[in-house]
Structure 1
Amino acid sequence: MRIIILGNYMPRRCGIATFTTNLANSILAANDKKETNNEVLVVAMNDHDQIYEYPDIVKYTIKQQEPNDYNTAANFINGLNADVCIFQHEFGIFGGESGVYALRLLQQLKMPIITTLHTILQTPSYHEKHILKKIGHLSQKLIVMSHLAIDFLTTIYEIPLQKIEFIHHGVPDFSNVENTSTKFNYSGKKVLGTFGFLGRSKGIETVINALPKVVNKHPNVIYVVLGQTHPNVKKHSNEEYRDYLKDLAESNNVANNVIFEDDFLEEEDIKSFLVESDIYITPYLNEAQITSGTICYAIGAGACIVSTPFWHAKELLADNRGKTFAFGNSDDLAETLCDLLDNPEKIAQIKEAAFNYGKKLYWNKIGLQYIKELNKINNTPLITHDEKPLSLPKFSMDHIKRLTDDMGILEHANYSIPDYKEGYCLDDNSRALLLVLMAYELGVDKNSIGLADVYLRYIKLMQMEDGFFHNDMSYEKKFLDEKGSEDSFGRTIWAMGYLIRLAPNDSHFQFAKDTFFKAYHHFEKITSIRAIASIIIGFCHFLKRYPDNENIIHLMNSLTYKLLNQYKDESDNEWKWFEPILCYDNAIIPLALWHAYDRIKDKEIFDVASKSTDFLDKETYKKDRISLVGNTWYYKGKKRPAQGQQPINAMAMIMMYSKAFEVTKEIKYHERMLVAFSWFTGNNDLFIPLYDEESKGCCDGLETHCVNRNQGAESTISYLLSYLTVWSSKQAILKASQNLLTEDEILTT
C-alpha cells in the first residue's frame, strides 16, 4: 500500500513533527516483520518561510501561509497514485484563519483520508468549529487519542460515531532502556522532572512555588525543567518566561534546586531522563488539553506522574497510574510530592501500574493499529467529497430584528452586535422592506410584516421634496449626504414596485404609489446601469398590477434598451458584458433583462440576457461551486481577484439563475441557483459557511484567509432574500410536478 502522510516532520522541532516522524517509522517498521508491505511518502509543512533538511522520505513541502501551495500540493499528491493519505491536523500548523487553507487541499484529494486529530476544542471559534466539521466530512476515518474526544466530536461537531477510532498517542519502547546518556548527572538527588517546549501554559511556576515546602523536608530534591522555549513563544517574547522562572526560584530560595536544561534532546536522552526521574510533573494550567504527548511518554516510561487534572491526564492516570493536584495550587502539589517522597512504596506502585499500561502505547503496536485502519479503508468504497443535497436551514428573522430599531435597520454590526455609530442607509431599509414583504407573501414568516412600517417610515423620511432620496443617516438622526446614490434610488423603486403589486393592506399600497410617483420624473435621468436594472425590476412588479400603464411601459422599454446599447458598446467575442469591469451586484443586470423579456418578449433582450448570464456563469462557476468576483473588482484583460467575496453578489446570482430558469425552463439554471445558494452554507472557496446558525445572521464576506465575521444588514438580507428565492423556486417546481410525479419523486425534487 502506498501511503501519504501530511503534517510537520523532523528535523522541524515540534510535537507534531515528532509524532509524524514516529508514525511513519512505525508503519515502515512493520515491513521488517513481514506483516505488511507499505511505502510511506511524506508531504511536510514549513513554517514562517523556514527551510529544513528533510530526509528522502519527504517528497514535497508546503509553505504555511501560501494559499497556492495547497493547490499545487494537492495536484502533486494526486499524481503519486497513493492508496490513502494520513492527515495530521493541528489548527496552528496550517495557513489562514485557524488553518483554513488545509481544507482547500483536502477537498481536492482523490484518495481516502484518515485524519489524526491532535486538538479538539470544547468551545471552538466559528472558524475552528466549521473547519473540524468539514475535515470530518472529508475524512473516511478520524483518529483520536482520548475517549473524551469522541464525545466532543459527536456532540459539538456532529460527526458520526462510526467515523471515529480511538488509538493512543504512540511512544517509544521503554521495555529495555539503558541509561547511556551523558547529558544528565544527578546522582544522589531525588529528581522531579518536566520536559517539553516551555511556555506560560505549562505552569512551571506552580512547581517552583511548591518547592520551598518540599525542599524543607527533602533537601536533596532537584527539579529539572527539560526543553527549549517554544519557537513561537521565543519569536514574540524571547526568553521572558524562562527568565521569570529563574527569578522566581531565586526569590523562593530554591535556585540551587532548579535546573534548566535548555536543549532540544534526542529521543534516547528523553527516555533516559524519564526512566531515571523519581517523579514526573505536568503542572499545566488549562484543563482543555485533549492530547498530551509528554504525559504519554511519561506513562510509557513507567514514571510516577503527578499532574493537574487536564482532560488527557485524567484518562491516563486513572486506576492509580498517577496522582493529580488542583490547577495552579502549589500547596496541594507540595503536599502530594512530600507524601510520595515520604513513602517510596507509593512511587513504586504508581510506576508499576503506569509501566504495565504504557506497553499499549509503544509505537510498534500503534503502527499496527494504523495499518489495520488503513487496510479497512483501502478495502471499502471511497466516500466522495460531494456535498449533501441542498437542505435549507430553518428560516429566521432573528438577526434582522436585532438590527432593527424604531428608526430603521442599522447598516453595520460588530460580529452580530448592532453598530449604532455607523447609522442607517436607504439601501438596506429598502432591501429589508422587500424581504419582509416576500416572507409575508410566500407564507414563510407572516409575523415579520410588522417591520414593514419601520422601513417605510425610514424611506418616507429619506425622500426629498423633489422625489429623490437621501441614503445615509447617523444614529443621531442627521442626514449624512446632500443626495443619495442612484443605486439606492433604484433599489427603493424595486421595493415600491413590489409593494404596489403585493401590498398586504391599502395603507401600504397607497404609501407605495405616493413614493413611486413622487420619484417618477427621475426615472429616465438615471445613468447607473445597476440602478437602471433595479428600476426595471420594480417596473415589472408594478406592471403585474397595472399591465396597461403606457407611461411605465414606455419608461421600461427605454431603460431596457439603454442596457442593451451599453452591452453593444462594451461586449466582444470574449467579454460579453455591459462594462469593462465586473464589480458589485453584477448579476442584477441580466436579472433585470430576464424580467424585461418576460414582459416584452423581444428576442434581442433574450439574447443579451442569455449571453450575459452565461458569461457571468463562466467567470464564477468553478469546480462545482461559485467563486464570486471580489470587492477589489475584475477588470477586463486583468487577473480576476477572489478576495472580498460578498453576499450581495451571491444573492444577485441566485436571483438571476432563478429568473433564467423561470423564463427558459432550462434545468441547468435551477441547478446553478442551488449551487450559488450553497456558497452561503459552505460550498465556497474556503469551505466555511457564511450563514451563522447561532446568531441567524450572515457574515459580511469571504476573504482569502478567513470569513469576515461581522454581520451587517446587507449581508443578512442578501442571505434571506436568497433563501426565499430558492424556496419559492423549489415550491414552484413542486407545485408544477404534483400531478406528474409519485410521492417519492416529489420529495426528491
Structure 2
Amino acid sequence: MKFAYIGTYPPRECGIGSFTSDLYHSMVGDINQNKNEGFIVAMNNSDEKHLYPREVKLTIQQENRNEYIAAAKHINKSGADVCILQHEFGIFGGRSGVYILSLLHRLKIHLVVTLHTISNNPSYTEKAILKDICKMANVVIVMNLKAIDFLNDIYDVPREKIAFIEHGVPDFHFDQKTIKKEFKLEKKKVILTFGFLSRNKGIEVAIKAMPKLVKKHPNVIYLVLGKIHPSVMRASGDEYLQYLRQLVKSLSLEDHVIIPNEYVPQEDLFKYLYASDIYITPYNNEAQITSGTLSYAVGAGCAVISTPYWHATELLANGVGRLFDFHNSNQLSDILIELLDEPETLNAMRKKAYEYGRKFTWPEIGAKYNKQVFNTLQDEIENKGQYFDILVMPPFSLKHINRLTDNTGIMQHAKFGIPNLKHGYCLDDNARALLMALLAFKVKNNYKALEFCPIYLSYIQYMQNENGTFRNFLSFDRSFLDEVGSEDSFGRTIWALGYLLANSPNASYYESGRSMFLKAVPIFEKLKSVRSIANTIIGISYYLQRNPSDDSMTELLSRLSVKLVESYEENSSDNWRWFEPFLTYDNAMLPLALLHSTEIHNDDRIRKTAFRSMEFLISKTFSNGYLSIIGSDGWYEKDGKRATFAQQPLDAMAMILLFKQAFKIKKDIEYLNKLFKSYMWFHGENDLRISLYDSETNGCCDGLESYGVNRNQGAESTLAYVISHLIVLQAHKDFNRELFAQKRSSTKNVREFN
C-alpha cells in the first residue's frame, strides 16, 4: 500500500514533525518489515528553508493557498492509496488553518486524519473546519479516550469513525548509570522537563517548587530541556525565557535549575530521559488532549509527575505516574521530596511506567496504524464498494459474443463491431470462449452462456489430432488451415479444459472435456514455451481440484512448475526478476501459474518465485498508479526501453486473474485494489485516458495505440473484457462472503469470551 503523509517534518523543529517522521518510518520503513511505500508533503513557514530528506517529495508554504491545490493534484497522481494528515490548527494557513480544506476537498483517495489538538470550546471557525475535515475522513485517529467524547458531542463525528491509537514513542534503550556518567550527573538527582517553551507549559510552577526540595536534597538539579516555541518567538521574542531565568536568579537556584534553550535531537533527548530520576509536566490548564513529551517520558520509564490535564489524567492512571494540582508548587515539592526520600517507591513507579510504555513504542503504533488503515479499507469495500464499485461497471452483456458466435465457433476478428468472416476461427479464441461461458454460468447463472458451451467444446474437439495435439485455425468454410497449432493455443486449451473439469455444469460436458484433456497429457512435458507451460499448469491445477488423488498428475504439475522456476532463476538478476530477458505479452500468466501451483504443492521455492516475479511485473506496469501494459510495439527488453503502446486487452485480463489469485493466497487487500484498477484499464484508467469498452456494441476494442484505440472488436479483446468483468464480480462476491464469515467468527469469539 502507498501512503501520502501531510504534516511538518524534520529538520523543521516541531513536535508534529517528529511525530510525522516516526509514524512514516514505523508504517513504511523497516521497523515492521512491511512492504508499504510512502512519501511526505511537508508544511513550511514562509520564512523557513530546510534541507529535507529524500522521502519529502513536496512542500507547501503555509500561507500560499495555491500550493495546497497543487499538492492535491500531486497526491492524486502519485499512486497513493491513502492520505494520512497530521492536523494541528497552527501548522496550516488561513484563519484557523482553513487552507488545508482546499487540499482535502480535491483528494480522490482515502483520508486518515490524526488529531493533535481538539478543543472542548472551539471558535466558530475552528469547529466548522474540524467538522469538515472529519466528514471527509474515512477514519479519525485520536490519542486520548476523552477526545472521542469531544468529537462525538461537540463536532458530531460518529463514534464508529473514530479510532484510539496512543502517541508512539521511539524504542531507545540506555543504562541510567552509564548516561549519567556521560553527562557528568552521576552525583545528581535529575528532574527533567522538555519540549517547546511557552507560558501555558507552567515551567515557573516547577521552578517555584525547587527551593523547598533543594533544602532536603541539595544534590538535585532541574533541567528544562527545550527552546522557545517558534510561534512564541515570532510573537513576543524570548520574553518568557528571560522571565524564567530571572525567576531562577531571584530564588537563588542558579546551581539547581538549567534552561539551555536548545532544540535537542531525539536520541540525545532519550539519553536525558534515561538519565533523569523524575519527569515533570506542570502544564497550567486541563485543555491538553495530547502530549508527546508525556508519552516519551512514560515510554522511557520515567517516574512522572504531572498536573491533571486531559492526557495526563488518562495516561498516568493506575499508578503509572502521580498528579498534582494546577499551579500548586507546594504540593509538587512534597511529592518530589517523598519520591526522593523513598527510592523503592520511585523505582516501582519507573518500572510500572516502563512496562506500560512498551505497549506504545513506534513499532507497535505503526502496526496499529497499518491495521487501522487495512480495516478502514475493508469497511469501504463492504459499505461503499470502493474497490468493487459495481455501480460504475456497465451491465453484463453477451451481445457482441453472440454476434461473433455461429454454429461452428466464435470468429476471431471483427471490422469495428461487425464479424470479419474472412479470417475464420481459431482454437485460442474458442478455448477462451469456453472459459468465459463456464464462468458466466458460475458467476451470473447465465443460461445463454451455457448454451454456448457445446459450440465451443465441439470446436475444440474437432481441432484435436489423434496424437493429442490441436490444430489452431479453421477457415469460414470449415477448412483446416494448419496441421498443428502453436504451443500457446495448446496451453490455453488445456487451461479451459481444466477449468471445465473443475466447474462442469453437467456430466456430458465433463466427460467430453476429460477425454480431450487426458488425450493431450503426453504433450505436456514436450512443451518449450514458458507461456504454454504456464497455461498448462493452470489447467492441471483446476483438474486436480476435481481429482486430488491423481498422484501422477500432481507429480507432473510439480515438474512443469520447476521448469518455470528454473527459467526464472536462469534469467533473473537483482534488477530483473523475470522468466525471460524481456517482457512481452500475457506476462501475468507466468506468476499466475505458479500461484495456482502453490495452492497444491505449498512449495516455498515456487511461492517465492511467484510473488517476486509478480512484484517485479507490478513495478513495471503500475508505477503511475494505474495499469500501463507493456506495449507490443517493441515490447520491453532487459536494460532497454519499454514500449508504451499497442497495449492488448489480454494482458489486462491476465493481471486481473493474477491479483485475484494473489488475494486468495495472501488476503492482502492491496491486490483487490489493483484488481479493480486493472479492470478500469478497459474503462479509461490507462495511459491515454480512453475507454476501450464500446457501450453501443458491448464489445471491446482491440488495443490501445499511440493515436487512440484500435476500433476493431475481435473475439480476443471482447472475451478478455467479459472474463475480466466476471472475475471482478466473482472477487467481489467471494470477498464479501469471506468478510461475513470473519465477522461471524469474530462475533462468536466475543460471545465465547464473554
TM-score (norm 2): 0.50
TM-score (norm 1): 0.50
